[in-house]
Amino acid sequence: MAGGDPRVAGGRLTIDLDALVANYRLLAEHSTPAEAAAVVKADAYGLGTAPVVRALTAAGCRRFFVALPEEGLAVRQAAPAAEIYVFNGLFSPEAAAFYREGRLLPVLNSQADLSIWEAHGWDDGEEPRPCALHVETGMNRLGLTAERTRILAQENALTGALTPRLVISHLACADTADHPMNRQQLKSFQVLSALFPESESSLANSAGIFLGGGFLCDMTRPGIALYGGAPVGGVANPMHAVVTAEARIAQLRQVRAGQTVSYGATPVTRDTLVAVAATGYADGYHRAASGAGVPLRRSLAEGAAGFIAGQRVPVIGRVTMDLTLFDVTALGPDTLKVGDFIELFGDNMPIDEVASAAGTIAYELLTALGRRYHRHYLYSGAPA
């Protein structure tokens, strides 16, 4: 989708596809001997399906996962030869037409999905009704129960009606390496996937890749780590930053001690130089990132910070729809001017830190990125 015109947009997103490719290579290496697919749901976590899929394809990625059939069609346009799986399964027989059109593979999550696919699925040459099967191992979100999986495997052994290409499950606590849930899920998954000896298996998301060993199975499914988010908490992030979000300074103003700023009138206790930046919650800069002392901040004392001229600059007062105030007192009035860009997150402000200051996760900051930013892509690779 078109971004803002760079001459007038309130902010810009720089999306570094070389960093994305470097992250893919690192994850593929950690996945060995399994193959690394790529999760590109929600418009490639907000970064843009087509450029992301083309760069990953050029880097050797052949398999993609999305949440919905229409996302799958967008991936198909960018990657004519890819294998494309759709996590959320089939809602109705009408959905099957989308799968046929895009040669998409549904991840079947329930008995209803199985019935619809058997009746309405497409055939891939010798392979009738190609699909993946999601088995439940602890998330209780999507996936066939262990009991139903066993019945299906028995039926299949007799009729051969539906042989999934891939059997998957999803880890609930992979970012906490020593959580007992990880081992439990792996054990359940090994038992259930073994019922389909002809199918490949896949369990690990980004964090799961760093659990290593048996968690790798035949295929891994990284998402957030491709886009620079930390796969695991509490250790240095091994991934390269992919997205830099910046907002333009619309105005610089001096606020005196005793005055207030923004909605709700947050008191200002010392003379403060404020940079009014042209980004807000309508651009995905969360209102929960508001500055220290704003009453809506209950459990987290500190608000988010931006970065400019070598300095971290805290958000002050409430984040509003189109504007956010930063305390730039430390930089003095002569360093900054209207039109300069404040980094919201990127190389200098780790996205996970900003997310955590807003009480959320990098996934949400990326997928909430608004449409008003000017977007530009850095890429030195050959266009795919």
Ligand X SMILES: *Cc1c(COP(=O)(O)O)cnc(C)c1O
Residues found near ligand X in the complex (CB under 6 A): 39, 41, 87, 170, 205-206, 221-225
Closest residue to ligand X using C-beta atoms: 223
* DSSP β-ladder status, 166-168 and 132-134: parallel
Q: Alpha-carbon distance 250 to 198, whole Å?
A: 60
Active site residue 263: yes
CB of residue 134 to ligand X, shortest distance in Å: 7
Q: Alpha-carbon distance 83 to 80, whole Å?
A: 9
User: Could you tell me the two tokens for 299?
Assistant: 């459990």
Active site residue 99: no
Output 136 or 283, the one with its CB closest to ligand X.
136
Residue 105's SS3 state is strand
CB of residue 175 to ligand X, shortest distance in Å: 8
Output 57 or 205, the one with its CB closest to ligand X.
205
Output 41 or 248, the one with its CB closest to ligand X.
41
Choosing from 24, 99, 227, 263, the catalytic residue is: 263
> Per DSSP, what are the bridge partners of residue 86?
66, 106
CB of residue 17 to ligand X, shortest distance in Å: 18
User: Could you tell me the two tokens for 372?
Assistant: 């008003």
Choosing from 24, 41, 45, 227, the catalytic residue is: 41
Output 241 or 275, the one with its CB closest to ligand X.
241
DSSP string for residues in 22-89: HHHHHHHHHHTTSEE-EE-HHHHHTT-HHHHHHHHHHTT--EEEESSHHHHHHHHHH-TT-EEEETT-
CB of residue 51 to ligand X, shortest distance in Å: 18
Contacts of 195 (CB under 8 A, 6+ apart): 149, 150, 153
Which residues are catalytic, by number?
A: 41, 263
